[in-house]
Every structure is written in C-alpha cells, then in structure tokens.
C-alpha cells in the first residue's frame, strides 16, 4: 500500500475522483486536491487569494505525506497531456522531496 497524492487541473476533478476510487479499491491511501466550492463572485480579492493559498498549502502537505504523486494530465486547451502551472509547481515540490512522480499521459508538445 502506498500513499498517493493526485495532482492536476481542477477541470479534471471528476476524473481525479474516479482515479482515487480505483486506487483506493487497490488498497492505496489517496489524497485529492480540495474541491473548490468557494463562491469567488461573492468575495473580495483578499478573501480569494487567502482561500487559494490555503488550498495550495493543504495540497502541498498532502504531497509531503505521500510516497508518490500521480499527475492526472488529460487533454486541455488542445494540448495532449496538459500540465498547467500549479501542477508543474506540485511536481517540482514532489521532486524536491524525492517523491515518485507518475504521469497518467505523455505530455504534449
């Protein structure tokens, strides 16, 4: 059994949930990013920044507790295996902690 943090664009949260279920059924402990139910239309800029910072900090803690990270890099914006800026930051953080990094799909050009 391994502790696995799933990282990826929040556009793919449903796919990440499916991956989580599949991995948990195989006996792994899985950490997902925080699903954002925050109403950004109703908050000021400071509240938005603070909320996003908390989500980032919480997910970095999950990566720290993991043995590996699984990058859920599906196609997005016409790019195969899309890896966005936040996911790249999470990969770099995992790399610095000497965690295994698994890509679900080969990144596009």
pLDDT, residue 109, reads 54
Poorest-pLDDT segment among 33-42, 67-76, 77-86? 33-42
Q: What is the pLDDT of residues 36-57, one digit of tens each?
A: 665 656 668 888 788 888 889 9
Under 8 Å between Cβ of 17 and 32: yes
What are the φ/ψ torsions at residue 88 (nearest 5 degrees)? -60, -40
Domain containing 68 equals: 3-103
Answer whether residue 98 is part of any domain: yes
Collect all residues with Cβ–Cβ distance below 8 Å to 5 and sequence separation of at least 6.
30, 31, 59, 62, 63, 65, 66, 68, 69, 70, 90, 94
Query: Residue 20 — pLDDT band, cuts 50, 70, 90?
Result: very high
Contact 44, 36 (CB under 8 A): no
Counted domains in the chain? 1
The dihedral formed by the CA atoms of 33, 35, 39 and 40, expressed in degrees to the nearest 10: 30
| The predicted structure's pLDDT at residue 42 | 63
In this structure, are residues 102 and 36 in contact, taking their beta carbons and an 8 Å threshold?
Answer: no
Residue 108 located in a structural domain = no
Whether residue 8 is contained in a domain is answered as yes
* DSSP strand pairing (29-31 vs 3-7): parallel
28 part of a folded domain? yes
| pLDDT at residue 38, as a whole number | 57
CATH of the domain at 89: 3.40.50.450
- Look at the pTM and tell me if it is higher than 0.85: yes
């Amino acid at each position: 059994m391994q502790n696995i943090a799933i990282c990826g664009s929040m556009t793919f949260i449903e796919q990440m949930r499916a991956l989580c279920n599949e991995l948990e059924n195989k006996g792994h402990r899985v950490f997902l990013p925080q699903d954002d139910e925050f109403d950004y239309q109703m908050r000021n800029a400071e509240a938005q920044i603070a909320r996003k910072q908390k989500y980032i900090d919480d997910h970095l803690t999950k990566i720290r507790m993991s043995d590996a990270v699984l990058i859920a890099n599906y196609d997005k914006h016409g790019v195969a295996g899309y890896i966005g800026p936040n996911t790249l930051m999470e990969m770099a953080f995992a790399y610095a902690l000497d965690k295994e990094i698994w890509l679900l799909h080969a990144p596009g050009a």
